[in-house]
Amino acid sequence: MEELAKRGELAAWPDGLEGVVPAANKIELYLTYHCNDRCQHCITRSGPERRESMPPERVAKVLGILCQYSVVERLRQLLGEGVLETGADEEMTRLAGLPDPPARLDGPLQSTYARLLQGGGTSRWRTRQGSVEVPLGRPSIRLSGGEFYTWPVGLPESERLQHQAALLGLIRRLLPEYDVWVLTNGRFARDEARARRVVAHWGGAETSGGGQIRICISVDAFHRPPAGSTTEQMLTRLWQASRSAGLAAPFLYGIPNNRVGLVGRAFETMSPGTLEAPDLRHGHSASVNPLTALVVDPIDLMATDGCRELQGFYCAHADRGFPVHNVVVAPSGHLTYCCACVGDYGDLLTDPRRALQNMAGDPVARMLRQGTSAARLLATAARLDPSVLVVGSGENAAATGCTCYQVLSGVRLPGTPGAAGVTGAG
């Protein structure tokens, strides 16, 4: 680690904070790797055959621990009892109220979606004595992994929906300030009645503390639409069901086809229309690439400004402060290295302090938080591993086909794809 620091490739916390337990800001909670689809680009390699799943009782324990280490709880300790207030700008408010999906998301709507995914707006911690501006948007918890609709695995739909509704209600009680993102590929929306029934369960949890429940639909060109449907029909059903349930307009995640503009986290690092599509060879009927240009990124893992999944920063007030970090939790209850769910920082259930400390101090994670390091690593990845594909150039470059951790550590982790052709991430 000392050598990495000398080379300027470690993003360090301020002096005296090494080993301090960070607060959990954005939380990626992978409930299961089971999915009703099998896409070659899936970073968790989820599919119908996979059974790994976090039981409801374990989810409740994980949420209780995350509540104790949440950024809101740490702000309470630092600044006194209060509430987190996050304002939304005019464009974000308009987007949340759209009655129908836009024909295409370009111009101002693109940057609005990017701000929304990152938490949006500015935040203040308000107490009886006044308020203090804090350097974060609204914290969030994303329910994903495989398909949320399939969790808990092995139960009839009616029982699954009851568990899903109970989980959302628990999050709203424990972390009311957090936005809840329900990630789904929407393939259950075969007809209007089913779409409304499922979304009504998801949207039934009472909201308080400023956080919202928002459905995040992965409708990129690599997914199959529901049987007998088009992507646009599925999207319209889910959009109308969300608005009928009193939810904000859904967030659209993925890459665009010729009719529906879809956006994802890479809008902040990749310019629309600048990346020519490589010759992607997918081995499954669900993974068809009809595109001529990649505009955003369901498949890239690392961009030139570092890794947003492992993002960390420092929150300070007066002469005190604390580190803040995004966290990713696998179905096992362990913290993982990144959105690709590889590696292991430790068991959040048995030793949360140690797991969070490991995550914040890990040299690989620290390198990924520093954009100047990530930019150099893209070319290195492509040179060392034939399975890595670099698309774009300059500030718009991104790497796909291999996990960032493998690129940085030089160690191919167990269970990850080999180097034959372009593959989904490990």
Between CA 73 and CA 108 the distance in angstroms is: 34
Between CA 262 and CA 258 the distance in angstroms is: 10
- Judge whether 68 lies within some domain: yes
pLDDT of residue 386: 59
pTM of the model: 0.81
Long-range CB pairs of 93-97, under 8 A, 24+ apart, other chains included: 95/249, 96/248, 96/249, 97/248, 97/249
What DSSP assignment string belongs to 118-186? Answer: TT-S-EEEEETTEEEEES----EEEEEES-GGGPSTTS-HHHHHHHHHHHHHHHHHH-TTSEEEEEE--
- Judge whether 305 lies within some domain: yes
Q: Do strands 312-317 and 320-329 pair parallel, antiparallel, or not at all (unpaired)?
A: antiparallel
Phi, psi angle pair for 140, to nearest 5°: -150, 160
Q: Count the domains in the chain.
A: 1
- Judge whether 259 lies within some domain: yes
Between CA 251 and CA 246 the distance in angstroms is: 15
CATH code for the domain in which residue 307 is found: 3.20.20.70
- Judge whether 280 lies within some domain: yes
- Judge whether 421 lies within some domain: no
Task: Please list, in sequence order, all residues whose beta carbon lies within 8 angstroms of the beta carbon of residue 160, skipping any fewer than 6 positions away.
Answer: 149, 150, 151, 152
Q: Give the structural domain span for 49.
A: 2-375
- Judge whether 408 lies within some domain: no
* Residues lower than pLDDT 50 in the chain: 255-301, 396, 402, 414-426
pLDDT of residue 416: 39
CA dihedral 68, 351, 9, 75 (to 10 degrees): 10
Length of the chain counted residue by residue? 426
Phi, psi angle pair for 23, to nearest 5°: -85, 150
Residue 106 belongs to what H/E stretch? none
pLDDT of residue 206: 79
Task: Please list, in sequence order, all residues whose beta carbon lies within 8 angstroms of the beta carbon of residue 394, skipping any fewer than 6 positions away.
Answer: 304
pLDDT of residue 43: 66
Task: Please list, in sequence order, all residues whose beta carbon lies within 8 angstroms of the beta carbon of residue 15, skipping any fewer than 6 positions away.
Answer: none
Q: How far is CA 399 from CA 270, 299, 422, in A?
A: 12, 8, 11
pLDDT of residue 108: 64
Nearest Cα to Cα of residue 206 among 239, 244, 161, 168: 168
